[in-house]
Structure 1
Amino acid sequence: MTSTAAPTAARPADGPEAPAGHPPGEVDNRAAYTGFGLAYVLGHGSAAVSEGDQPLLELPGWLPMTLLGTGLLTGIAQATAAALRAQRGAAAPDVLSGKLLGTAWVVAFTALALAITGLTSALDAPELQAVLWPTGSGLIVGLLYLAEGAVRRNLLHYGLGVWLALTSAAALALDVPGPFWVLALAGGGAYALATVLEHRRLRRPPALRAGF
Structure 2
Amino acid sequence: MDHDDDLPPTDAAAALRLIEDERSATARQIDPDARLLYWPWGIAWLVGFGLFFLRFPPGEEELLRLPGWLPLTVLFALLLAAAAVQAVASVRAYGQVSGESARRGRWYGCAWALGPVSVYAGLGQVSEHLPHDLAALLWSATAVGLTGALHMAGGAIWLDRDLFRLGVWISVLNLVGVFAGPGWHALVVSVAGGGGMLVAGAVARRQQRQRQQP
- The 2-side partners of 1:106 and 1:195 are apart by 22
The residue aligned with 2:116 is 109
Contact 2:173–2:188 under 8 Å retained in 1? yes
Question: 5 Å matches for 1:13-162?
Answer: 20=25, 22=27, 26-52=31-57, 53-120=60-127, 124-125=129-130, 127=132, 128-162=134-168
Aligned length: 197
Tell me the amino acid that sits aligned with residue 81 of structure 2: T
What secondary structure, in the 3-state scheme, does the structure 2 residue paired with 1:204 have? helix
Task: Say which of 164, 172, 190 aligns to 2:178.
Answer: 172
TM-score, length-scaled by structure 2: 0.79
The answer as to whether partners of 2:41 and 2:79 remain within 8 angstroms in 1 is: yes
The answer on whether the counterparts of 2:136 and 2:182 sit within 8 Å (CA) in structure 1 is no
- RMSD in angstroms over aligned alpha carbons? 2.8
2:12 alignment partner in structure 1: none
2:189 to 156, 170, 183: 183
Deviation at 1:54, TM superposition (A): 2.3
Moved more, 108-117 or 91-100: 108-117
Corresponding residue SS for 1:205: helix
Q: 1-side partners of 2:28 and 2:164: how far apart?
A: 20
Measure, in 1, the Cα distance between the counterparts of 2:125 and 2:24.
45
Higher RCO (Cα < 8 Å, 6 or more apart): 2
> Residues 76 and 19 (structure 1 numbering): CA distance in 2 closer, same or farther, change over 3 Å?
farther
Letter in structure 1 aligned against 2:137? V
Cα distance between partner residues in 2 of 1:193 and 1:28: 14
> What's the offset of the Cα at 1:137?
1.1
| Residues 31-62 of structure 1 deviation map (CA, whole Å, 9 limit, x = unaligned) | 23111111111111011111141221111112
Q: Any stretches of 5+ residues in structure 2 without a counterpart?
A: 9-21
Unaligned runs of 5+ in 1: 9-16, 208-212
SS in 1 for 2:6: coil
